[in-house]
Amino acid sequence: MNATELKELQTPLKDKYREQPESAIITLKAHGNVGEGISCSVETGRALSEAGLHPATGGTGLQLCSGDMLLQALVACAGVTLKAVATAIGVEIIEGTVSAEGDLDFKGTLGVSKEAPVGFKNIRLSFNLQSNASEEQLASLRKLTERYCVVYQTLVNGVGIETNYQLS
């Protein structure tokens, strides 16, 4: 896809969202079933993924770790956003990789220490790109990718989460 094709694809959507702002509000959903042992099967829309405990908390390593899935979502979103931004501003990405790594202190997750945080302490997102981009274009690519990546912005800015428990 080139910049013209991307613009042709997105222009009608942008126009619609300007004229009908409420049409831009979309609710994404995820659904999971609590499984046998300590697991949860998550429907992704394309496949079924089974998440379980990380080996550092007693898991076998045969199931997906939710922390890994979070990092994978960040990598996927950042990679797609990077390609869209590069296409839109005319920067050629010949090839590239996106990686994320995060530090967890499992003492918090397992309740060993109340001082240890539950969740990632730090996340590092890295791009290794082969491109003909100038330093100025690379700076613009970075700024716009960070600005428009949904998962990145959610993690950086935080979001309120409302929980609801029901017995059936």
Cα distance between residue 80 and residue 87, in whole Å: 11
**How is residue 160 annotated by DSSP?**
-
Residue spans of the domains in the chain: they are 3-157
pLDDT digits (tens, 9 = 90+) for 88-98: 999 999 989 99
Residues with Cβ within 8 Å of residue 143, at least 6 apart in sequence: none
Decide: helix, strand or coil at residue 34: strand
Q: Which H or E run includes 159?
A: none
pLDDT digits (tens, 9 = 90+) for 6-51: 889 889 999 998 999 898 888 777 777 777 676 777 877 777 788 8
Q: ∠ at Cα 119 (154, 153), nearest 5°?
A: 10
- What pLDDT score does 101 carry? 92
Q: Which H or E run includes 124?
A: strand 120-131
CATH superfamily of 3-157: K homology (KH) domain (3.30.300.20)
pLDDT digits (tens, 9 = 90+) for 69-118: 999 999 999 999 999 999 999 999 998 999 999 999 999 989 998 998 89
- What pLDDT score does 78 carry? 95
Model confidence at 128, in pLDDT bands (50, 70, 90)?
A: very high
